[in-house]
Amino acid sequence: MDRVLEKTKTQEKSHTMENVDVSVLKALRDWRLQGHRALLATVTRTWGSSPRPVGSIMAMNDTGAVVGSVSGGCIEDDLIAQFSKAYQSSLGGSDLARSIDGPPEHLKYGISADEAHRFGLPCGGTLELLLEFNPEVQLLSALLGDLEAGRLVRRRTDIKTGAVSLSPTATPEALVINEDELINTFGPEYRMLIIGAGQMSEYLATMALFNGFSVTICDPRQEYSGSWSVRDALVTAEMPDDVVLSFKPDRRSCVIALTHDPKLDDMALIEALKTEAFYIGAIGSRRNNQARHQRMIEHFDQTPQSLEKLRGPIGLYIGSKTPAEIAVSIMAEVLAVKNQVHLPKEMNVAQAKNTMPHA
């Protein structure tokens, strides 16, 4: 256990994969602290197909460094060219050059078929950006402090003056843009708690990290947790129910049990069901899932209604066989639920297998 705890401390220092918005805002704050002029670009509107959704952000400084993305790369290249030229010349040879220290500016890409092709936009795609110049360091630090504390924040930008204000909000909100203001809601990073440190957990943790989740692994079994190899996930050897309590799952959290051991999985799931976690699920066959429900009803005072949030068998049906393939199916389902995508019944593992002969 000591080895696992020591490893966890090391991982906490090296935890580098984080929510994309947080990464952009941190880079922007750091650049401003270092005295760089910089801009924050926000995708405010899209028409037709678009490479990035509304609300996506990107930061750029006066050296041409970029964090985040508003397109597949070509729009970023165009902004870098304009922004760098603006600071290299005092003549202000472009619209961007004339406004690098002024109020926010709108830019639209993909208006014509030729421009859409030039900037790598899908056929018929158009997007509009709002560029904010030299955001205030204090407000960036305050926003990041709220996000790191797990709070949702509404950021309002006065388009005429560039003045920014922050206010708390209880629920995620869609971006609002009009002639007077831009309102974008920022939230803390999504979190995934995985019970079990086996091979499938390593595949799932890796995918979750690349999708912007922070990942915590809980497994008191030394033979599993001691050989964990995914560097950016945090590992704890505490008992799963205690970890769920300290983890405090919220609406941006998911809890997934992968040990196949009821002594570990069930206690964690019982505690998770008391929370607002957007996804709670456990690995296992249809028969194991039925047995789990029965145990919880008989021994933990659960009801069919209280177990409605518990998913199982988890994952989307893609005919997965290997641990890696199963992890892909689980990650896909987590993302679908997170993004509020309605999934057809045929994608449900149990539903799909119930319609198959000899399944």
7 falls in which pLDDT band (50, 70, 90)?
A: very low
Residue 77 burial (C-beta neighbours within 10 Å; 0-12, 13-18, 19+) = middle
Residue 150: predicted pLDDT: 79
| pLDDT 10s digits, 282-313 | 999 889 999 999 999 999 889 999 999 999 99
Phi, psi for residue 202 in degrees, rounded to 5 = -65, -40
Q: What is the pLDDT of residue 9?
A: 36
What pLDDT does 144 receive?
95
The first and second tokens of residue 226, run together, are 């001691």
Please, which pLDDT band fits residue 187 given cuts at 50, 70 and 90?
A: confident
pLDDT value at residue 212 = 83
> What's the confidence (pLDDT) of residue 115?
58
Mean pLDDT, residues 62-89 = 79
Average pLDDT across the chain, whole number: 85
**CA–CA dist 225, 1 (Å, integer):** 9
Has residue 19 got a pLDDT over 90?
no
As a whole-number percent, the residues of the chain with pLDDT over 70 amount to 84
Per-residue pLDDT tens over the stretch 128-155: 999 999 999 999 999 999 988 878 899 9
User: CA dist 266 to 148, 197, 219, 237, 314, Å?
Assistant: 30, 16, 13, 17, 15
Q: Residue 110's pLDDT band (boundaries 50, 70, 90)?
A: confident
Residue 3 pLDDT > 50: no
Reported as a single tens digit per residue, the pLDDT across 123-134 is: 556 789 999 999
Distances (CA, A) of 255 to 45, 111, 152: 34, 44, 20
Domain at 191-354: CATH code: 3.40.50.720
Q: What is the pLDDT of residue 8?
A: 36
Cis peptide before 103 (omega within 30 of 0): no
Beta bridge partners of 153: 168, 186
C-alpha torsion angle, residues 328, 333, 339, 343 (rounded to 10): 130
The domain segmentation of the chain, as residue ranges, is 20-186, 191-354
Stated as kind and residue range, the H or E segment containing 59 is: strand 57-61
- Beta carbons within 10 angstroms of residue 261's beta carbon: 14
pLDDT digits over 339-359, tens only? 888 888 878 887 777 776 655
Per-residue pLDDT for 117 more than 60?
A: no
Q: pLDDT tens across 222-269, in order?
A: 998 888 999 889 999 999 999 999 999 988 899 999 999 999 999 999
pLDDT at position 359 = 55
Q: Residue 11 above 50 pLDDT?
A: no
